[in-house]
C-alpha cells in the first residue's frame, strides 16, 4: 500500500484518498465557442504517460482538501506533493520514454519461458498423515470441515 503525505494532515494510508485525474488541465478560455469535438477533448482526453505524471488527489476521509502529486506511474514513487494552484515543480531527472515491451531475460515471467535453474516443486514427499472419518465414510485431513 502507498503512504501518501497530505499537505494538511501529514502521512496517511492510500485508502483515505481518491484519485482525481490529471492535474494542470486548463479550462477553455471561451467555453461557449467550443464545438462538440473540442468539448469532448477537454472533458475526456487525458495524457497516459509512462513515468512521471502530475495527478490530482482528494483526501476524502481526512481534511477533504484537493492537492496535486507528482508520481511515477511505473514504480509508484511519489516525487512531490504540492497544494492546488501552485505550479508543477521541476523533476530531478526527466524520465526517458520507454517502449513498454516485455523483458527478454531468460528467467522472466513475461516471456513465458523459465530459465534453466528454475524447477517445479516436488510433490513426491507430500503426504497427509492425520485423517479422520466423516459421517459419509470418507477420510479427510484433520481439521477439515464437512
pLDDT per residue as tens digits for the range 84-98: 999 999 875 544 444
22-31, 37-46, 76-85, 128-137: the lowest-pLDDT one = 128-137
Give ∠ CA 80-83-85 in degrees, rounded to 5. 120
- Is the pLDDT at 139 greater than 80, yes or no? no
User: Three cell numbers at 61?
Assistant: 476521509
pTM over 0.75: no
* Closest to 54 measured CA to CA, from 96, 27, 23, 81: 23
User: pLDDT value at position 51?
Assistant: 94
User: pLDDT value at position 1?
Assistant: 78
| Backbone dihedral angles phi then psi of residue 115, each to the nearest 5 degrees | -70, 170
Share of the chain above pLDDT 90, in %: 58
What is the pLDDT averaged over residues 125-144?
54
User: pLDDT value at position 2?
Assistant: 84
Query: What structural domains does the chain harbor?
Result: 3-83 (3.30.2270.10)
Amino acid at each position: 500500500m502507498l503512504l501518501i503525505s497530505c499537505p494538511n494532515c501529514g502521512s496517511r494510508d492510500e485508502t483515505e484518498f481518491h484519485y482525481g485525474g490529471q492535474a494542470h488541465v486548463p479550462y477553455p478560455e471561451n467555453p461557449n465557442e467550443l464545438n462538440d469535438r473540442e468539448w469532448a477533448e477537454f472533458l475526456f482526453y487525458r495524457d497516459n504517460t509512462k513515468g512521471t505524471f502530475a495527478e490530482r488527489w482528494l483526501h476524502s476521509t481526512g481534511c477533504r482538501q484537493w492537492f496535486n502529486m507528482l508520481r511515477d506511474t511505473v514504480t509508484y514513487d511519489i516525487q512531490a506533493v504540492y497544494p492546488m494552484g501552485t505550479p508543477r515543480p521541476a523533476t530531478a531527472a526527466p524520465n526517458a520514454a520507454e517502449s513498454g515491451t516485455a523483458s527478454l531475460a531468460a528467467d522472466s515471467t513475461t516471456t513465458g519461458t523459465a530459465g534453466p535453474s528454475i524447477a517445479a516443486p516436488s510433490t513426491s514427499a507430500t503426504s497427509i498423515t492425520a485423517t479422520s472419518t466423516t459421517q459419509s465414510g470418507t477420510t479427510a485431513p484433520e481439521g477439515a470441515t464437512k
